[in-house]
Structure 1
Amino acid sequence: MKKTVLAFSRVNQEMAERLAQDFNVIIPDPKKGDINAQFNEALPEVHGLIGSGRKLGREQLATAERLEVVSSISVGYDNYDVEYLTERGIALTNTPDVLTESTADLGFSLIMSSARRVAELDAYTKAGNWKRSIEPPHFGTDVYGKTLGIVGMGNIGAAIARRGRLGFNMPILYSGNSRKSALEQELGAQFRSLDQLLAEADFVCLVVPLSDKTHHLIGKRELGLMKKSAILVNIARGPIVEEPALIEALHNGTIRGAGLDVYEKEPLSESPLFKLSNAVTLPHIGSATTETRQAMADLAYQNLRSALLGERPQNLVNPQVWKG
């Protein structure tokens, strides 16, 4: 008898067909009414969940009595109550590594576009304001040779550091829970406390996972430690930055600018950030390339299939639940 899989976000036709080869597949359809109602109605019969962007924990999964695995199409898993899933013996899988390079590309593009005021001057040009040579009020700042600070030197942080050091001759500073001796040797990266890094770096790039420890890691005090000429880039999670403090710092000139792909509330249709010319604001597109999203979907499919067929998944967030 086939097990049942429920998609809790949109999946493409190819994935739906692949899943249907081995499982009964339920994909909520907005044309058939409320998505949340369809999701909740299907839960009691479901053995596997696959998708991204939905908070799943004790309250949301109370009726999912047959659930064996949640396969997230993401590297981050702060949307899931890992402790609860582990308590229930439910495997949680994610899709690390396959999005490292595309997310690093996005992070460095925010460094470049913030420094050279790309979005601002694109709008300026399209509005018909370019009537003479650009003057100092519209000048940007150099990236080459400036100091790059990475907060959270994991795979993505290391990939950004390589782009900065090898491509732009940038001295690399980093902070985190542990020293990275291999990267220190490879890139000449230097370890700093967070406060030291904030004070020294020209560009501060946040690449840490969201946790109780990193929630509002960057607030008014931390922004005040940064150079007035510095730029903050956040491609991690929105709540790592205290947003009102950042808005105030950008408005008052405490820092030069910010490049943001993530926010405290998402999706975000209105924000004071959108009115600030020194903030580049993107709609959480870190991994949003055709190739990377396909690779993430493929890995999530493999994780789900393995778990439901009794094989250890490649990427277990909570390996202690696996008895096989």
Structure 2
Amino acid sequence: MAKYKVLHIGDPIKYNHDIYARFASEFDLIQPSAAERERDAFKQALKERRWGDFDAIFRPFWNTGGEMGRWDEELISLLPSSVKIVASAGAGYDWADVDVFAKYGIIYCNGAAASSESVADISLFLILSVFRNLRWSHAAAHSLNPTQFLDAHTNSPLSARNPSTQTLGIIGLGQIGYTIARKVHAAFNMRILYHDIIRKPTELEKAVNATYIPTLEELLGSVDCVVVSTPFAGRTLMDRATFGKMKRGARFVNVARGGLVDEEALVEAVESGQVSAVGMDVHANEPYVHPRLAGNSRVMMLSHNAGGTVDTHVGFERLAMENIEGFLLRGEALTPVNLHLVKGGSKL
């Protein structure tokens, strides 16, 4: 029986060599050259059917294999009809139109499960930062200025709160969001409210003391800190109107995607006191950050490193292979994102 063919885009694997050996024995692997991964060259190769009828696309790294740019209708429509699954490293998929993949009967799988622990750990840091004014204190200590030090020492406690006395709102309780809830519950014992398009089973809610809120507006007006952990679906989630629905003086944390937030609206919210502190790992115009946010002592910024650990990269690589193995060999992918959109569930 002929083996399934897998198109491997991006650099060779780095970590899971034993799993890759098994993977390579199970499938016929095709790896385009770096030149063939540029968008125009990649499109031309697909038009020429240079790689024939392959069944899966494997992208083991989040920072290579993306040279062809956004996977949109223009690109996806050129794939052979034999393609059944795309498995990629990385938690976010703003670079891929997963609904268009579904239109062509292709399941898209991401690596959020591999980065959940790392992202949740950073989320705890940012939640603690916004409640305890850590950006203010940190900057003052590093300034080597005794006046700034004494200002932070004396005044930052006047608006600081213990997280355990506050209510946390999570937008998006998927793999990452639920891990954040689990860690927040264990570390801070906070009351947790959440909003998502899919409600978690009751037993999972109870395990982290989480309550489902059916509308975003109700959530925003009910919590002391909002954490955004939902995928970017091509539209802004937090704008002037939504920031205006938050409790005055509430905190805001974004560990999802910068494009979910109107940063001009966020600047206005912080400077007006509508939002009292911000923690952000992601930015709307990376690698550039908003200068007014960067200069504000109530805004803690990171360089999109929430998921950035060796452990995450190992997991990304492994999960991309295991998704393809699970689907092609056993009929079930491990972390499908758009399965509910694929007519009939799959093409197998």
Assess same fold via TM > 0.5. Answer: yes
Q: Which ranges of structure 2 fall in alignment gaps of 5 or more residues?
A: none
Change (3 A) 1:66 1:184: closer
106-115 vs 274-283, greater mean Cα deviation: 274-283
Q: What SS is found at the alignment partner of 1:292?
A: helix
Find the counterpart in structure 1 of residue 279 from structure 2: 259
Find the counterpart in structure 1 of residue 114 from structure 2: 98
Find the counterpart in structure 2 of residue 288 from structure 1: 308
Change (3 A) 1:283 1:144: same
Q: What SS is found at the alignment partner of 1:161?
A: helix
CA distance in 2, matches of 1:28, 1:13: 17
Find the counterpart in structure 2 of residue 79 from structure 1: 95
Count of residue pairs the alignment pairs up: 318
157-166 vs 254-263, greater mean Cα deviation: 157-166
CA distance in 2, matches of 1:297, 1:264: 27
Find the counterpart in structure 2 of residue 55 from structure 1: 70
Find the counterpart in structure 2 of residue 200 from structure 1: 222
Find the counterpart in structure 1 of residue 105 from structure 2: 89
CA distance in 1, matches of 2:181, 2:8: 39
Decide whether the 8 Å contact of 2:281 with 2:306 is kept in 1. Answer: yes
Q: What SS is found at the alignment partner of 2:7?
A: strand
248-257 vs 303-312, greater mean Cα deviation: 303-312
Change (3 A) 1:15 1:90: farther
Decide whether the 8 Å contact of 1:312 with 1:322 is kept in 2. Answer: no
Q: How does 1:1-324 map to 2 (within 5 A)?
A: 3=5, 5-8=7-10, 10=11, 12-14=13-15, 18=21, 22-26=27-31, 28-29=33-34, 35-36=38-39, 39-40=42-43, 42-43=45-46, 44-46=49-51, 47=54, 48-51=56-59, 52=62, 54-65=69-80, 68=83, 69-130=85-146, 133=150, 134-139=152-157, 141-142=160-161, 143-177=163-197, 179-180=199-200, 181-192=202-213, 193-211=215-233, 215-265=235-285, 267-272=286-291, 273-305=293-325, 312-316=332-336, 317-318=338-339, 320=344, 322-324=346-348
CA distance in 1, matches of 2:209, 2:29: 52
CA distance in 2, matches of 1:96, 1:138: 35
TM-score (norm: length of structure 2): 0.76
Decide whether the 8 Å contact of 2:89 with 2:111 is kept in 1. Answer: yes
Letter in 1 for 2:72: G
Letter in 1 for 2:172: G
| Alpha-carbon offset, residue 45 of structure 1 | 3.0
Decide whether the 8 Å contact of 1:199 with 1:227 is kept in 2. Answer: yes
Summarize deviations over 1:260-293 as a string: whole Å, max 9, x none: 122334x332423323332222232232221122
Decide whether the 8 Å contact of 1:15 with 1:301 is kept in 2. Answer: no
| Alpha-carbon offset, residue 179 of structure 1 | 4.8
Percentage of pairs with the same residue: 28
Letter in 1 for 2:290: S
TM-score (norm: length of structure 1): 0.81
Letter in 2 for 1:304: I
Decide whether the 8 Å contact of 1:306 with 1:313 is kept in 2. Answer: yes
Decide whether the 8 Å contact of 2:119 with 2:307 is kept in 1. Answer: yes
RMSD, aligned CA: 3.3
